[in-house]
Amino acid sequence: MCQVCSTGIDSAGATSFQTTGSGILAATDVIVASSSQIASVADINTALVDQLDSGNFWYLSNGGYTSLGLPSEISFGFPTSGDFASTYTESNGFAAATATQQEAARLAVQLWDDLIPVSLVEAADGNTADIKVSTSSTGVSYAHAYYPSRADMQTTTVDRISGSVWLREGHGNFNNPSPGNYGFQTIIHELGHALGLDHAGNYNGGSPQYGKTSDGWMFAEDSYQYTVMSYFTASNTGADWFAGTSLRAQTPMLYDVMAIQQIYGVDTTTRTGDTVYGFNRNDGHRIFDFAVNAKPILTIWDAGGTDTIDLSGFSANQTLDLREGAYSDIAADLSSNLAIAYGAVIENGVGGSGDDTITGNDAANVLSGLDGHDILTGGAGDDSLLGGAGDDILRGGDGYDIVTIDAVSTEVTIAEANGTLYISGADGYDTLFDDIEAVQFRDTLLTYAALLGEAETAQDEVFDFAAAAMFSYGGTAQDVSVTTLETGSGSLEIGGNTWKLFGLDYNVTENTVLRFEFRTSAEGEIMGIGLETDSSISKNLFFQLAGSDSWGTGGFSYTGDGDWQAFEIPVGEFFTGNFPYLSIVVDADSGAAGLAEFRDVQLIEDAAAPVDPVDGGIRFDFTQSTIGSLADQGETVAAIERTDNSFLFTGNGWKTFDLNYEVTADTIIRFDFRSSVEGEIQGIGFDSDGRTDADEFFQLAGTQSYGISGFSYTGDGDWQTFEISVGDYLQGFMTSLLVVNDDDGAKQANIEIRDLVIFEESEGPPSASDETLDLSALAISGYAGQDDRVTALERTEDSILLEGNSWKSLAVGYDIDENSYVSFRFRSDAVGEIIGIGFDDDNSLDKTELFQLGGSQSFGIDDFVYTGDGEWQEFLIPLGEYLSGTKDRIYFAADDDGNEAASVELADIRIFQMDDSPASASDAFAAETPPADILPLVEMLPPDMHIDDLPFIA
């Protein structure tokens, strides 16, 4: 039998459950749904979904152990006797579950039942239920469960113990298991095993460490944040679930939903009405009632209707993202604590009284900010945005989007800057971007274009200190005293020991420049100017101009000796986004009070110079492109160096450069890259909307997995050339080039890029030269997701050696016709399973494109056989007789899943036209998107094999 989960330690990086005992393998001849059928989202880790699917499930039978399909019902109950486990140790110390434990188990069962079409029903007699929940003082260290088997069968000992859940009798965690505590999460976890879910990694007891593959850790998402079947706390993946005490998952989480639906199918009847989650909830589940459950940590599955998440009772600043698979930060002191399941569509979002950020999805959303300075962003649908009271920022996205302002159109003031509208009135001072189509006032609906025509031009206006609202900044510890304060329409004189904010509301882009004049006759300790998002001090948003202490961003020093000095600070190179405040600091905790004067303060948009075109594209000049940052990524910049053809970045950040390039199917990017300190995510990409998007990013290095893979840096600190066929992965207008050096932990990673060009390969592959392929110069990467275990890889200019179990590809573009040939020398001293050479244009396995030269298995064209017995053998293959069309890579197979001992060496590779002089492809490009892993064949059980004959699972 399979006992899943026993005692362990609940802490970061340590186990919370343990598995002991042996296991039942259920029949595997029924497939209900695959992860690709549940949702088609690029960033789903399907390998984790498959890991959670143990292959065991409840099934119908005719008395044997062959599945006849899924049952319509699975029963659960609470035994009053341990007789059903009479041959197991647990029966010796059996104790019936308490009333409190039964109540918690019923709620947990209901949460699983919401996800699948098979009904989970409580049995009249708990002693004969499929899933039996009990406690015991023997054989149970903490908690464990047995995998499922035949439904509604109690014939054998195996039937009776299968799917049973055991809690340690008398353990404190189970005295009062309730949503949010560890005992309740444990019950959800054990019921997951009883339904057929496995752990999230290759561990089964002990104390594995997060990130340590030798302990069985496999996936970056392996934490409670993503699955209750994990051993690791949510903090390992960046979530903060501590609010005075450590909190735990209250429902099955994001990947649990996908995995259980992969096994049993998708429940399309769960909450199909117009459901409200949160405050004013109407779904009947107290766990989704935030008036009762004030610290929610949950995933929402919803099958239909027009639904709403209502956060109106919360006063903290919150982030609500309605997109499927997205996490939100709701309630005070928590982050990444609410997820929307893949396949669930929530149409509407309501914020609270804090400064909230609400993001819509592809449906027609109604987003309401209520009070506070809110940021509302619609998705692809026709959205309605209601900012509410406060100074709000409103973006529509695609679709026909309408903003509602609770004022008469003639009673508001409308200004315009750079195509952005600023509307002040009864609701506050709202910023509307040009992806809004119309504004609904109390009296009329006006189009955005009509409002632009009525607006006063606000661009490049001098900041009016006298008219702006002024606030304290940083609390009483910073805003101590003001000895001088004089505000004019375009000037400010301020002295003392004070930190002040002035109402602003400006959307900083990569082109934004802060222009002003400044002078001081008493510097104090810190003196300068900046922008702020709230009243907490932010060092990276502040520019120090003078002072004896060092704080904020330097490089802008006052040297006027009491006279006025003009400054122009390209703030868009340091940060972007909307900022409601201008900050002014005159800090003098000790000594004489400081005195500062500012005048003619302006925020202007200064468009960058165009990039230099080359070969129908651009030769990138890093000094001429404005540098910025993605607004949703924090950063710590240790060093930035730019020349006309290179960029070096040390620290932690996601940097953007003005690009404005239309990426087509033929677009190629070529550059040199090196890194001497690896971070978490390092690479290059494109941006079209100021947000992180894994589909627009090519990862080159890093300990974490993010973006498009297949382009690995192997230079060990030296330069490596990359050429990426961008158009194979993304197309459309890209506003920015993105360079990522993400290192949230150490903040010491570095990357350097040089000689970057972007061009169109509209005329087909580059012309061939009459040289042998330079194998050391071509970009190398894994091929078709088959590059598993490389024990040796060596390259020279004219040869390549592979050992282990490996498929490698080199970026070589060539147009094959009937006169095309390839010649090379080949040798191998270990046969392996599949050995050969091939050509490809889509990074997927195709045996009609591989010339198999050797191997114990048959895969590919077998007209060219290696017989050299470890010695060199020359091959000449008429490519045109087998292949045709443009190929963008040549690949080598050294496949040996069993022994990892395959050895392949090729040399003097030439691709040429027989009617021309021998030639090789040059200026090659790589373009790789690993598809889903090709699954190994699994030996099926003979139909008459009894379950007791099956091997145990430890």
Amino acid letter, 393: I
The continuous run of DSSP H or E covering 263 comes out as helix 254-264
Distance of alpha carbon 213 from alpha carbon 206, whole angstroms: 14
CB burial class (10 A; 0-12, 13-18, 19+) of residue 421? buried
Which position has the token pair 């959800």? 188
End-to-end CA distance of the chain: 10
Amino acid letter, 104: A
The Cα angle at residue 683 between residues 682 and 686, in degrees rounded to 5? 135
What angle separates helix 182-195 from helix 254-264, to the nearest 10 degrees? 20
3-state SS, 816-877, equals: ECCCEEEEEEEEEEECCCEEEEEEECCCCCCHHHEEEEECCCCCCECCCCCCCCCCCEEEEE
Distance of alpha carbon 736 from alpha carbon 731, whole angstroms: 13
Please check whether residue 833 is in contact with residue 893, taking contact to mean a CB–CB distance below 8 angstroms. Answer: no
What are 750's two structure tokens? 């570095």
Please confirm, yes or no, whether 122 is among the known catalytic residues: no
Closest CA to 204 of 225, 183, 221, 218: 218
Closest CA to 723 of 772, 679, 680, 673: 673
Please check whether residue 824 is in contact with residue 919, taking contact to mean a CB–CB distance below 8 angstroms. Answer: no
Collect all residues with Cβ–Cβ distance below 8 Å to 935 and sequence separation of at least 6. none
What are 676's two structure tokens? 């001497």
| Residue 327, beta-bridge partner list | 339
DSSP one-letter code for 88: S
What are 921's two structure tokens? 């492809």
Which position has the token pair 């079209």? 688
Closest CA to 659 of 631, 687, 692, 695: 687
| Residue 414, beta-bridge partner list | 423
DSSP one-letter code for 937: P
Which position among 169, 190, 532, 803 bears the catalytic label?
Answer: 190
Catalytic residues: 190
